[in-house]
Amino acid sequence: DRPVVVAIDGPSGSGKSTIARRVAAKLGLAYLDTGAMYRAATWWCEHRGVDLDDDDAVADAVRAMPLIMVTDPLFPQVVCDDQDITETIRSAAITAVVSAVATNLEVRGELKQRQRAEIDAERTGGRSDGRGIVAEGRDITTVVAPDADVRILLTADEDARLARRARERHGSVDAAHLAATRDEVLRRDRDDSTVSAFLTAADGVTTVDSSRLEVEETLDLVLGVVEDAR
Ligand code: C5P
């Protein structure tokens, strides 16, 4: 088999990280979490004391960011400035401000280049076993890798996305936890969708709606789409 590139986009709470990782592990592919790169950029700016409202300073800092993405789907890691920030960047504090960094167009240009370099390294078989990569985010099917072999938009309705995030973050879906999750999911999607269109599928992109599906069912559907394309 020639190396395959699988692009998966979707809103927050659609299950795309879980599914992308599982697909990569199952097929022996590398896994790239591009959201983690925007989170790392946010962490790096704060770490360096850069004012997130200063677009030029943020862009300069991100261009100089010493970021290493470990793309093993069984143990993905984010290393920046020799620190393992894999867990740190999932904090509520980073989540609350990441969209501000991600809507900086200079930042997007820089990270797009780095994401393409990661994808190309796997596509040309220069690394791992040369079998390819699953990359997930908000603009992979449209901007970063519109030429991917497989392009999937993983969606889920608002209720399903809120319930998943509330359970993930707080362990239950009572009213208070749902309310606390609203900002993280709905506000962030609104802000993020001002720079990339991940709420509707672009031409040639297959939509998979996970609202009423268990993880295993979604995984089977996505694996089917990948198999059909190979
Ligand atoms: O997927 P995750 O929630 O970790 O993404 C964090 C943030 O990174 C998103 O809220 C969005 O602002 C940004 N992002 C992006 N483009 C991508 C992936 C993520 O703008 N391809």
Sequence-separated contacts (24+) of 165-171 with Cβ below 8 Å: 165/12, 165/13
Residue nearest to atom 12 of ligand 1 (CA): 99
The reported pTM is: 0.94
Q: What distance in Å separates the CA atoms of residue 52 and residue 30, rounded to the nearest whole number?
A: 31
Over range 171-176, report the average pLDDT. 81
What is the per-residue pLDDT across 72-104, written as a single tens digit (0 to 9) for each?
999 999 999 999 999 999 998 999 999 999 999
Does ligand 1 come within 6 angstroms of the Cβ of 133? no
Does ligand 1 come within 6 angstroms of the Cβ of 210? no
What is the per-residue pLDDT across 213-229, written as a single tens digit (0 to 9) for each?
999 999 999 999 999 98
Pocket residue to mutate for ligand 1, from 52, 107, 138, 164, most atoms within 8 A of Cβ: 138
Q: How confident is the model at residue 182 (pLDDT cuts 50, 70, 90)?
A: confident
Cα of 110 vs centre of ligand 1, distance in Å, is 14
User: Which stretches of 77-164 are assigned E, i.e. beta strand?
Assistant: 77-80, 83-84, 132-137, 150-155
